[in-house]
Amino acid sequence: MKVLVINSGSSSIKYQLFEMPRSEVIARGLLEKIGEEISPFRQKSGRGEVEIKTRVPDHEAGLNLIIRSITDPETGVVASRNEIAAVGHRVVHGGEEFTGSVLITPRVMAKIRKYADLAPLHNPPNLMGIRAARKFLPGAVQTASFDTAFHTTIPDKAALYAIPHHFYHRYRIKRYGFHGTSHRYVARRLAEILKRDKTELNLITCHLGNGCSITAIEQGRSVDTSMGLTPLEGLVMGTRSGDLDPAIIFYLADKGYNPKEINNILNKQSGLLGLSGQSNDMRNLVALREGGDPRAALAIDIFCYRLRKYLGAYLAVLGRTDAIIFTGGIGENNPLIRTLTLQGLEGLGIRLDEKRNRLTRAVEGEISAPGAPIRVYIIPTNEELRIAGDAYEIASRRPGNAIGPAASKKRRRK
Ligand code: AMP
């Protein structure tokens, strides 16, 4: 079954076409700068690389371009768009309602629109992608995988903020958490690697990319995570502050900054960029630190200290931890960050094998010392594959498809 996975952002569409259940990527691509003068488009597949620079006014035109490229007689990978049986969409916010991936119906679309109130930068472009896919691939099953879904198991004691309770009832203010598909993917992968059932494992998963979050997973269920109502809370990130005293916002307001400016400062000008004054890219900061730059060194120290503090908190939350997983661009590739975060924690059962830590990059592998009570792993994230897996499972369960339970129920009723 061919499954197209779409990640539709405010001005970009990222996609991968999978052959399922083999989990084989047959094409992948990225369209950027939608709505600007020139929108660069790139696709890679077994039939070569395609690069186009053209004007793409909106997401609908964008998806049309992508489908034409996938089905192009010379450089495409499928003969007809009808071969695409399912489309899995990444959707950022599913509120408290969506606890797993679902078949997209008009009701589901209305809910995604409703939760745009909580994710105004993400849910509207996600919906644009869904609308375009329904238009151009009307025969395909459309599914949604939500970043928040994995965290709907977080108990109230970890999810609610200590503000008057009616704000939760009136506005649904609580910790939703994000990166759920990534945390779920790496946790499931580790269970596969260890040949254990996910319900036997307590894990701490660190997704460290441009956005960063850490999750405590007890017996396969997320029980706490560092991002909150929005992806601003928690760890230090590329340009986001993570945790801070909320009174800083009023202090800045008193100094003359308006809410929009403060929002922009905390989301776009803070984190590694704000601290270093130079870059939000960890690669640059590591190089600057090696060259003796004190601000880059400080930014890295603060990044690792915050992560270590959360790690300590989640070790206490879980009581017993089997493994810590690093993923995301920084988590997978950066030995220095892992060392600075975990060094000196032998008393807690964490011991890195420094050679393995240095040498393991962007591949699955254990980096803890043999015999350490808490094992440490690198597992490259693959949210697209998880979304494709969900879309495949949902499409397979549809009536009329011989392998799904819906089909077998029908047979039983007869
Ligand atoms: P992501 O959002 O997962 O793509 O991660 C982006 C972050 O990962 C940036 O801060 C990059 O500097 C960092 N990153 C990506 N590749 C490497 C690498 N090879 N070494 C160190 N950091 C990396």
Reply yes or no on whether the pLDDT at 406 is more than 60: no
Known binder of ligand: residue 129? no
Task: Return the pLDDT at 361.
Answer: 84
Closest Cα to atom 19 of ligand 1: 333
Known binder of ligand: residue 330? yes
Known binder of ligand: residue 38? no
Reply yes or no on whether the pLDDT at 402 is more than 70: no
- Taking only the tens place, the pLDDT of each residue in 87-96 is 999 999 999 9
pLDDT tier, 121 (very low <50, low <70, confident <90, very high otherwise) = confident
The dihedral of CA 10, 87, 388, 221: what is its sign?
positive
389 is written with which tokens?
Answer: 């897996």
Q: Measured between alpha carbons, how far is 378 from 207 in angstroms, rounded to an integer?
A: 10
Ligand 1: distance of its center to the CA of 208 in Å? 8
- Taking only the tens place, the pLDDT of each residue in 193-229 is 999 999 999 999 999 999 999 999 999 999 999 999 9
Report the range of poorest mean pLDDT among 114-118, 240-244, 313-317: 114-118
Reply yes or no on whether the pLDDT at 278 is more than 90: yes
- Taking only the tens place, the pLDDT of each residue in 235-266 is 999 999 999 999 999 999 999 999 999 999 99
Q: Measured between alpha carbons, how far is 124 from 381 in angstroms, rounded to an integer?
A: 25
Ligand 1: distance of its center to the CA of 331 in Å? 8
Containing 140, the helix (H) or strand (E) segment is none
Ligand 1 binding residues, C-beta < 6 A? 209-210, 238, 281-283, 328-330, 333-334
pLDDT tier, 409 (very low <50, low <70, confident <90, very high otherwise) = very low
Task: Return the pLDDT at 407.
Answer: 36
Ligand 1: distance of its center to the CA of 60 in Å? 30
Where is pLDDT greater, at 295 or 409?
295
No. of helices (H) and no. of strands (E), the chain? 16, 14
Known binder of ligand: residue 24? no
For 99-108, what is the mean pLDDT? 97
Task: Return the pLDDT at 404.
Answer: 37
Give Cα separations from 127 to 94, 113, 366, 367, 388 (angstroms): 12, 7, 39, 40, 18
Ligand 1 atom at minimal distance to the Cα of residue 331: 8
Task: Return the pLDDT at 401.
Answer: 59
Phi, psi of 286 (to 5 degrees): -65, -40
- Taking only the tens place, the pLDDT of each residue in 354-382 is 999 999 888 999 999 999 999 999 999 99
- Taking only the tens place, the pLDDT of each residue in 47-58 is 999 999 999 999
- Taking only the tens place, the pLDDT of each residue in 377-398 is 999 999 999 999 999 999 999 8
What domains can be seen in the chain, in order of their start residue? 2-146 (3.30.420.40), 197-381 (3.30.420.40)
Give Cα separations from 233 to 90, 212, 334 (angstroms): 21, 10, 23
Reply yes or no on whether the pLDDT at 403 is more than 80: no
* Of 333, 337, 338, best ligand 1 pocket probe by most atoms within 8 Å of the beta carbon: 333
For 325-342, what is the mean pLDDT? 97
For 105-113, what is the mean pLDDT? 97
Enzyme catalytic residues: 147
Reply yes or no on whether the pLDDT at 414 is more than 60: no
Ligand 1: distance of its center to the CA of 286 in Å? 11
Ligand 1 atom at minimal distance to the Cα of residue 211: 2
Ligand 1 atom at minimal distance to the Cα of residue 284: 12
Task: Return the pLDDT at 360.
Answer: 82
* Of 147, 206, 210, best ligand 1 pocket probe by most atoms within 8 Å of the beta carbon: 210
- Taking only the tens place, the pLDDT of each residue in 2-41 is 999 999 998 999 999 999 999 999 999 999 999 999 999 9
